[in-house]
Amino acid sequence: MLSFKGERDEMLKQSNIDQFFQTGTTQEISQKLLGKIIVYHQFKALIVETEAYLGQNDQAAHAFRNHKTHRNRALFMRPGTIYIFSMYGHNMLNFITQPQGTPEGILIRAVQPLTGIAEMQKQRHTTGVNLTNGPGKLCDALQIPMSLNTKMLNQTALKLVLSSPLNRTPSKIGTSGRIGVPHKGKWTTAPLRYFVSGNPYVSKMPRKSVDHQFNGWQK
DNA sequence: CACTGGATGCCCT
DNA sequence: GGGCATCCAGTGA
């Protein structure tokens, strides 16, 4: 009985996650993720850069031509599923969007650390923006393991916080083609990468265009 | 700052 | 055995 309210709250949160990841296009959800918070154990960080991958028609997506293997099976699961794959020895964190069976997802490319920064520095053997300004770097910094692949967000230690006083709103959302997608025609140039304009933790953000006062967030 | 090449682990053919 | 949704240190302006 005592746990009833707690369980109800958990179910509410879960249906919020479901809603969030299947309301709107994957491009729209990618932009809504900017300023939301990832929590993993003692680590908290703001999402500042995302990329949309659009399923079976997208030449750059792992699910291109409805390609399904053991490695990418998470893509075909429920919205809010965690998809992690490793490449060149680095883990990459993705969230699944759209109803089950539609293999679209969002790659988290960069975050701005909020808590656990000392531990991140120890883990990464570096400081500053290099802690988390890339998809492999942020998984290393937050120590996100492959074992979370195919798990649901918020059902393990890895949470996504959709509404909190710590969430921020970008002053301006920048777009570009996705990184590392060469020679794929319109899928190379399509503006499917989204970032908080002026945030120093965005990958390849020129030092010159950094907003030193607000890091690209609304006040 | 822009560009380069080597290291790297794991999945797939 | 190849390819990759990367990272880093090195070079040369």
pLDDT tens digits for range A104-118: 999 999 999 999 999
Do residues A86 and A73 lie in contact, with contact meaning Cβ atoms separated by under 8 Å? Answer: no
Q: What is the pLDDT of residue A3?
A: 60
Structure tokens at A89: 């020895």
What pLDDT score was predicted for residue A152?
Answer: 96
CA distance A109 to A129: 13
Q: A12 CA, C2 C1': separation in Å?
A: 46
The pLDDT of residue A1: 55
What confidence score (pLDDT) does residue A2 get?
54
Place of tokens 């879960």: A14
Q: What is the pLDDT of residues A37-92, one digit of tens each?
A: 999 999 999 999 999 999 999 999 999 999 999 999 999 999 999 999 999 999 99
How far is the C-alpha of A79 from the C-alpha of A95, rounded, in Å?
Answer: 8
Near-strand B residues (CB closer than 7 A): A 67, 69-72, 85-89, 206-208
Question: Which of A19-33, A34-48, A162-176, A200-214 has the weakest average pLDDT?
Answer: A200-214
Strand C bases, protein C-beta under 7 A: 4-8
The per-residue pLDDT of chain A, averaged, comes to 93
Which bases of strand B sit closer than 7 A to a protein CB?
1-2, 7-13
* Predicted local confidence at residue A14, as pLDDT: 76
3-state SS class at A211? coil
The model's pTM is 0.94
CA/C1' separation A143–C3 (Å): 26
CA of A130 to C1' of C9 (A): 14
* CA dihedral sign, ordered A34, A117, A149, A73: positive
3-state secondary structure of A15: helix
A161 pLDDT band, cuts 50/70/90, is very high
CB < 7 A contacts with chain C (nucleic strand): A 51, 53, 60-63, 75, 83, 87-88, 90, 92, 94, 105, 107, 124, 126, 130, 134-137, 178-181, 203
Contacts of A48 (CB under 8 A, 6+ apart): A34, A110, A111, A112, A195, A196, A199, A201, A202, A216
